[in-house]
Homo-oligomer: A and B are copies of this chain.
Amino acid sequence: MKSIEQLGILAVQAEKVLARASSGLKNKALLACAQALRSGANDILEANRTDLDNSRAAGLSDALLDRLALNEKRIEAMAASIEEIAALPDPVGKIISGGKRPNGLMIQKVRVPLGVIGVIYEARPNVSSDAAALCVKSGNAVILRGGKEALGSNRALTTLLRAALASEGLPEDCVQLVEDTSRSSAAELMRLNQYIDVLIPRGGPGLIRTVVETASVPVIETGAGNCHIYVDKHCDIVMAASIVFNAKTSRPSVCNACESLLVHRGIAAQALPAIAEKLGEKNVEIRGDEAVCAILPSAVPAVEDDWATEYLDLIISVKTVGSAEEAVEHIARYSTGHSECIVTNDYDTALYFTGAVDAAAVYVNASTRFTDGGEFGMGAEIGISTQKLHARGPLGLENLTSEKYIVFGTGQIR
Contact = CB atoms under 8 A, between A and B. Distances in A.
Interface of A: 16, 19-20, 99, 101, 105, 107, 109, 112, 114-115, 191, 193, 197-198, 212-213, 215-216, 218-221, 236, 239, 242-243, 245-247, 250, 332, 350, 354-356, 358-367, 369-371, 375-377, 387-393, 402-414
A198 B355 CA distance: 21
Contacts of A236: 411
Contacts of A112: 358
**Interface SS majority for chain A:** mixed
A101 B129 CA distance: 28
Contact of A354 (B376, B402, B406): B406
A99 B350 CA distance: 18
Nearest to A402: B388
Given A366-B408, A366-B409, 7 more contacts: A101-B377, A105-B366, A112-B358, A239-B411, A369-B413, A392-B402, A393-B405
Nearest to A352: B20
Contacts of A212: 193, 216
Nearest to A329: B16
B360 A405 contact: yes
A406 B218 CA distance: 27
A393 to B, nearest CB: 5
A344 to B, nearest CB: 11
B355 A20 contact: yes
B407 A364 contact: yes
A412 B411 CA distance: 57
